[in-house]
Structure 1
Amino acid sequence: MRLDEVIRGIAITDRRGIFDAEISGLSADSRRVGPGQLFVAVRGVSQDGHDHIPEALRRGALGVMGEAWPESADEIARANVVLVPNARRALALAAANFYGQPSRKLLVAGVTGTNGKTTVTYVLESIIRAASKKVGVIGTVDCRYGNKTLPLAHTTPDAVTLQATLGEMVDAGVSHVAMEVSSHALDQERVAGLHFKVAGFTNFSQDHLDYHGDLDTYFEAKARLFSEFLRKSRARGRMAVVNVDDPKGAEIVERWGGKTLKVSLDPKSDADLVALEAHYGLDGIKATVRTSKGVWEITSPLIGPHNLNNILVAMGMALAMGFSKQRILRGLEQLERVPGRLDRVPDAQGRAVFVDYAHTPDALSKAISALRPLVKGRLIVVFGCGGDRDQHKRDPMGRAVAAGADAAVVTNDNPRNEDPKAIAQAVEKGLLAGGFTKGQAIAAKTFVVELDRRHAIRLAIEAAGPDDAVLIAGKGHENYQIVGKEKHRFEDRDEARRILAGEPPPPPMVFEDATGEVTADQVEDALEILAEAPASALPVTQSVDPSSIVDEVDMEPDIVAEEADEDDLVMIVEESESSEGGGTGDPPAPQKT
């Protein structure tokens, strides 16, 4: 594609060079730029892509797009240069052009909110499949379409990967796309150039303050999906679907200002989709829903009022995309499960053990509230908080557990580079403030600290009686535990299944203590179990390749931040670890041929 075609529709402040030159691809990472590509210089928190323009040119970049001329004009004397006011936005728009504006050939539904995005996309996917349409899904768990399932580093990929993926979906015959849209993606302009048919809003509560700084800034990022990106979409019949039970719902409706489907669990609400009556059980939901097309009886295997709210948002989005009552009801019935979302672990004896991704105070509270009335006995919660992330939610998460659970086990949940003991102590404050006491065994209104997550899960399950339930919160679908700079293979659901089946435990995960030393007790415990454990039970430890890490803060290789839902392979990567210099850290994306 010619350079002038790639930059079509982008605001330009200055330009120089030959603009009918053929561009072979796009990159915002000087280390990965290839011959004939356009390098886009993006400013980050600790690195500036403009500093790496010479490197990109040495690697064969045919053109450069950025916000300012490099200090040394000699370095780009023969380069094609485009100056723009906002390089992030320009990158997204250029990617959309380069890959042929794929979102205009698709019906794209995007959903945002602190919690519930993944569930909404799974429900919507099931409805679209029930209508015999080819669907693509982009979100926290993975990217999937047709027979392909691809891992993602983030809930919403970087702009180049996103547009490339949408282009591949078009080529594969996909007609509809359900995607999660994170606050990071909205703030970083990753979805600029996407033409949404419908945008959904689930809820809003505290999360990602380590990135956004405060709740107001966090909400402003979420609201941009409606006030900016949906408004600018060229899709016909654009519509918003908003949960008006959330206090921020009305503000979203006002910011959007266009046609809206409102959803509510309040039978007295004048919303467009209203749950008039609902019955909740450990086997799912049965509800009567008032719609503009009459009163519908729905069933779903999902659990709890918060999931009924998610279902209503998905139903509204399906209606906005033109699906019939028959297809919607069939899709709701055919959905089997959403990985890691109040996901019951199979057990021959019928014991109630659930895995959930809840890692915010609000999500944890809702998961507990959903199970609490359905459990005859005790509700035991296993949970922790991530290291190098929003520290302000640790105390509230402890309080949320104390408010609804009968007992708790505090454990590791991706401690990363923080001292696990320090994280646990912050959580303990919330539990103590909520009326729990610290103990050595699971008992009423008592919490135990067991930093080995595998052992923590075993403690909870073995302590549970026939009428009790165990909620293992925080990781959900994730299959790793990040400690320091290493990613260890670990999956809550698999650990729980192993314990319920009575299989022998693998050796404990041996981690460094706060001083960076492995303790003698840890080594001794590990050796004892290693001697007895079968080889198949040994855990897999994988060192993370720093070059594969994509930054959620500013797409740089030296600072990485997780999305809520997020979802990520995360670690702090020092600049010195890369022998190839700087760059802005975009992952490689398929190039158009």
Structure 2
Amino acid sequence: MTLTLQSAARILDEHGLLDEIIDGRTWTMDAADVADSDRPFASITYDTRTVADGALLVCKGRFRPEYLDGLDERGLAAYVAETDLSERTAAPGLIVTDARKALSLLSAEFYGRPQDRLTVVGITGTKGKTTTAYLAHAILNDYSDGHAALFSSVDNCLDGRTYEESDLTTPESLDAFRMMRQAVGNGMRYLVMEVSSQAYKVHRVHGLTFDVGAFLNISPDHISPIEHPTFEDYLYCKRRLAYNARALVLNTACDHADLIRQDAARAGAALAEFEVAPAQGGAGVEDIPGVPAAEAPRAGRVTARIDGADDAFRLTADGRDLGAFRLLIPGAFNVANAAAATAIALQAGVPADDTAFRAIERVRVPGRMEVETDEASDTTVIVDYAHNHSSVVALLDHVDRRYGAAAPHITLVTGAAGNKAIDRRQEIVEAAQRRIDRFVFTAEDTDTEPYLDICNDMLRHVTEPGVETAVVVDRVEAIRDALRDARSHPGRTDVVLVIGKGDERWIKDLNRHVPYEGDDCVVKRLLSEPLR
């Protein structure tokens, strides 16, 4: 499908976004008044550096009029903006009420509405999005013989087999539709994608309807002047998924579940639910906070029953037994993610008796609950992306369940994001300080805020007198410090938790991605070195 000035104006007008079209001195609502308005755009972009002959430029965010200087000579065909920029360009302008919404709608059209040729799954929640996305993708990829794509905060996969590191949890709309187009060209039939609160806040998925949406959980996060001003705003953005999904999968233990059920009912979305429940006889779930007692099976419900401390579990769907499972990814919270992925796949059309559900037992998520051991010193190291209160609590719950009998000495290597989510610094400390023995505060990601300031901010929130603390800004040296301490105490069982970065091969500093080895690789390398 081609995108022209006329078709772009029609789409924007249909969605109530078009204010007017400005072409020199002509102000009009009829694109036919503009010369060559039926000529297809050669490209669409929001980056002035990529403007070439026939390009449509969407001026979003902190766009400055002077960015348009010189673009006429490079062939700018038209622009989309929230204000008249005709003093800087002779190209016609589509003036809109919201440039980000316009970008999403026009990108979908430019790339031929690839979402219409895919079964699209969108997953939101404060924690568990990535793991659930990987598990759901594994089922759908197995069921479709390798024809499922994935957009996640860790990797993107556009051909069912090749994974490349991603930059954002949810891509910018233009990039998302471009990648969808590529996935369709590769023969993909399914797409599983994470949907962040920011994706709805800044309209990266505006106009996109998910065939299946999943709401995993909600707790305060991303509260800052540049993200969500309040928890209510954060939850409101998450809830938009219910209004943009044909079917919604919901965690029965989710806070505000009744509100989200009301959202689904108002939107006319079919509602399915999932839960983690005690095994027959009631064993194995008592130390998972917030898990409700099992209810009688009802239509559209997937239940995972944990059986013992090793996180083995049995799945049922609407009371039908799907079998016993054990994940490669440890943690009872990942059993909940497996139940969510199963419910998603069922809603996406996978028959309950299909062997594709077994694919969840083969899934590893890079940088997620990766365990390394040093048997000589009785040290276990867990690398994970935990980065907020709820995920740190879940990680420590797992440590208690799996290693608590040995009364381990626990060290937490952690940082926090700079310039945003300020509350995380206190919340991570409060989640851990009464349950661990030592903090090592270190660099994570920042725009302009100094790493040392972030570490010291976290340090001042430590109020538990019995916990040791250290600040080691260099992340590799921080991990080295934690491992050296753990391995230097014969006869002591140690657990070292390295959180926040996982297998990311960069650290953000001064708005740049600086190459970094990755926590997973650093841990493996340091454990292979002799203790010095």
For residue 478 of structure 2, what is the aligned residue in structure 1?
A: 456
Please list, as runs of the form range in 1=range in 2, the aligned pairs for 1:370-385 lying within 5 A after superposition: 370-375=398-403, 376-378=406-408, 379-385=410-416
1:276 aligned onto 2:305: yes
TM-score (structure 2 length as normaliser): 0.83
What per-residue deviation string (whole Å, max 9, x for no partner) do you get for residues 402-439 of structure 1? Answer: 1322333222223553333332232123321xx244xx
- Identify which of 356, 359, 363 aligns with 1:331: 359
Map residues 180-219 of structure 1 onto 2, 5 A cutoff: 180-210=194-224, 211-219=227-235
Look up the match of 2:316: 290
CA shift in 2, pair 1:67/1:425, >3 Å: closer
**TM (normalized to structure 1)?**
0.75
Contact 1:133 1:175 in 2 (8 A): no
Per-residue deviation, residues 507-528 of structure 1 (Å, max 9, x unmatched): xxxxxxxxxxxxxxxxxxxxxx
Separation (CA, whole Å) in 2 of partners of 1:462 and 1:454: 12
Q: Report deviation, 1:55.
A: 4.5
The letter for the 2-side match of 1:63 is A
Question: What SS does the aligned partner of 1:13 have?
Answer: strand
Report if aligned partners of 1:53, 1:64 keep a CA contact under 8 Å in 2.
no
Indicate conservation of the 8 Å contact 1:24/1:36, yes or no.
Answer: yes
CA distance 1:483–1:171, change in 2 (3 Å): closer
1:102 aligns with 2:104: no
**1:309-358 Cα deviation digits (max 9, x unpaired):** 111111111110111333343112222x1111111136576842110111
**In 1, Cα distance between equivalents of 2:473 and 2:483:** 16
Cα separation, 2, equivalents of 1:380 and 1:109: 37
Query: How many angstroms apart in 1 are the aligned matches of 2:215 and 2:480?
Result: 37
The whole-number CA distance in structure 1 between the counterparts of 2:529 and 2:148 is: 39
- Residue equivalent to 1:144: 157
Does structure 1 residue 14 correspond to structure 2 residue 23?
A: no
Q: Is 1:245 paired with 2:235?
A: no
Write the distance in 2 (CA, Å) between the matches of 1:251 and 1:165. 33
Corresponding residue SS for 1:129: helix
**Aligned residue in 2 for 1:360:** 388
Q: Against the structure 1 CA distance between its residues 458 and 436, is the aligned structure 2 distance closer, same or farther, given a 3 Å change threshold?
A: farther
Shift of 1:149: 3.3
Distance in 2 (alpha carbons) for counterparts of 1:356 and 1:35: 46
User: Post-superposition shift, 1:449?
Assistant: 2.8
Q: Which residue of 2 aligns with 1:260?
A: 271
Percent identity over the alignment?
Answer: 25
Alignment partner, residue 50 of structure 2: 32
Aligned to 1:494: 521
Q: 1:320 is aligned with what amino acid?
A: Q
Change (3 A) 1:151 1:474: closer
Question: What corresponds to 2:458 in structure 1?
Answer: 427
- Per the alignment, residue 541 of structure 1 pairs with none
* 1:460 to partner: Cα distance: 2.2
- Alignment-derived partner of residue 87 in structure 1: 99
Q: Give the equivalent residue in structure 2 for 1:408.
A: 439
Q: Distance in 1 between matches of 2:306 and 2:3?
A: 58
**Alignment CA distance shift 1:414-1:53 (3 Å):** closer
Shift of 1:98: 0.8
Pairing partner for 2:241 from 225, 233, 239: 225
The question of whether the paired residues in 1 share the 8 Å contact of 2:86 and 2:93 is answered with no
Deviations, residues 190-219 of structure 1 (Å, cap 9, x unaligned): 112333110111122222222112111111
Q: Deviations over 1:543-562 (max 9, x none)?
A: xxxxxxxxxxxxxxxxxxxx
- In the TM superposition, residue 463 of structure 1 has moved relative to its aligned partner by 3.0
| Distance change in 2, residues 1:8/1:457 (3 Å) | same
CA offset digits 1:225-259 (Å, max 9, x no partner): 222x32xxxxxxx2101112121333222212221
- Aligned residue for 2:468? 446
Shift of 1:367: 1.1
Per the TM alignment, residue 6 of structure 1 is displaced from its structure 2 partner at its CA by 4.4
Amino acid at match of 2:42: S
C-alpha distance in 2 between matches for 1:13 and 1:482: 38
Specify the alignment match of 1:57 in structure 2.
Answer: 72
Work out the CA distance in 1 between the residues paired with 2:157 and 2:337: 21
Contact 1:346/1:497 (8 A) holds in 2: no
* C-alpha contact (below 8 Å) 2:80/2:96 kept by paired residues: yes
Which amino acid in structure 1 is aligned with residue 426 of structure 2? D
SS of the aligned residue for 1:31 comes to: helix
Partner Cα separation in structure 1 for residue 100 and residue 446 of structure 2: 31
Pick from 354, 358, 372: which aligns with 1:345?
372
Distance 2:338 2:54 in 1: 47
Gaps of at least 5 residues in structure 1 are 231-237, 438-444, 506-593
Q: Distance in 2 between matches of 1:420 and 1:436?
A: 24
Q: CA deviation at 1:48?
A: 3.4
Q: Is residue 2:97 matched to residue 1:66? A: no
Q: Deviations over 1:92-134 (max 9, x none)?
A: 1111111111000001101011211110111012112222241
Q: Which residue of 2 aligns with 1:114?
A: 126
The alignment status of 1:468 with 2:456, answered yes or no, reads no
> How much has 1:37 moved relative to structure 2?
1.0
CA distance in 2, matches of 1:181, 1:130: 23
- 1:149-164 equivalence runs, <5 A: 149-164=163-178
Q: Is the 8 A contact 2:135 2:360 kept in 1?
A: yes
Kindly tell me: are residues 289 and 466 of structure 1, through their superposed partners in 2, closer, same or farther at Cα, counting changes over 3 Å?
farther
Q: Which residue is 1:539 aligned to?
A: none
Query: Is contact 2:100-2:204 (8 Å) kept?
Result: yes
Q: What is the CA–CA distance in structure 2 between the aligned matches of 1:345 and 1:145, rounded to whole Å?
A: 30
Range with bigger deviation, 213-222 or 149-158: 149-158
Distance 1:10 1:125, change over 3 A: same
Partner of 1:564: none
CA offset digits 1:112-167 (Å, max 9, x no partner): 11211110111012112222241111111121132543333211111111111100
Asked whether the 8 Å contact 2:82–2:99 carries over to 1, the reply is yes
SS in 2 for 1:404: coil
Q: CA deviation at 1:49?
A: 5.3
Q: Distance in 1 between matches of 2:77 and 2:474?
A: 51
1:57 deviation in Å? 3.3
Amino acid at match of 1:141: V
* Distance in 2 (alpha carbons) for counterparts of 1:19 and 1:292: 55
Could you tell me whether the CA contact under 8 Å between 1:401 and 1:431 is conserved in 2?
no
Q: Which moved more, 1:483-492 or 1:243-252?
A: 483-492
> Residues 256-297 of structure 1: CA distance to partner in whole angstroms, max 9, x if unpaired?
22211111223424571223344343xxx3112332151332
1:370-417 deviations in Å (ceiling 9; x for gaps) = 122211232222112122222222112111111322333222223553
1:176 maps to what in 2? 190
Deviation at 1:220, TM superposition (A): 1.4
> Are the counterparts in 2 of residues 31 and 56 from structure 1 also a CA contact under 8 Å?
no
Change (3 A) 1:187 1:277: same
* Residues 151/276 of structure 1: CA separation in 2 closer, same or farther (3 Å cut): closer
Does the residue aligned with 2:250 lie in a helix, a strand or coil? strand
Q: CA RMSD in A?
A: 2.4
Alpha carbons 2:126, 2:218 under 8 Å: kept:
yes
| Amino acid across the alignment from 1:377 | A
Match of 2:285 in 1: none
Name the residue aligned to 2:343.
316
